[in-house]
Amino acid sequence: MTEYGIWTENDGGFTEHDLYSLQAANERLAEIIRESDDPDADREDLRVVELCPDHEGQPKDGCEECNEEYDDEADEDPPDDDA
């Protein structure tokens, strides 16, 4: 099941998650903006992001733990600079 969260750019993390549809996430985001005292700032800061299915609390695009795994694989196959 795909999980969505509300990502806050200012904090660099999720302020909300456990949202299991894009619609639910967008509704929650609209609710947060409605309740906020500073809606303009929040519109810049907050966005709906899909969570990494393998790692809790990480965005699917740009998951730090997934990226580390990919980096390890890349290290085993160094670029051929002598060509």
Stretch that binds Zn ion, among 25-33, 41-49, 50-58, 73-81 (CB under 5 A): 50-58
Specify burial of residue 36 (Cβ count, 10 A radius: 0-12, 13-18, 19+): middle
Binding residue (CB under 5 A) for Zn ion from 18, 31, 54, 56: 54
- Asked whether position 55 contacts Zn ion by CB under 5 A, the answer is yes
Dist CA 44 CA 54 (whole Å): 28
Dist CA 40 CA 67 (whole Å): 32
Binding residue (CB under 5 A) for Zn ion from 9, 31, 38, 65: 65
Residues of this chain that interact with Zn ion (CB under 5 A) are 52, 54-55, 63, 65-66
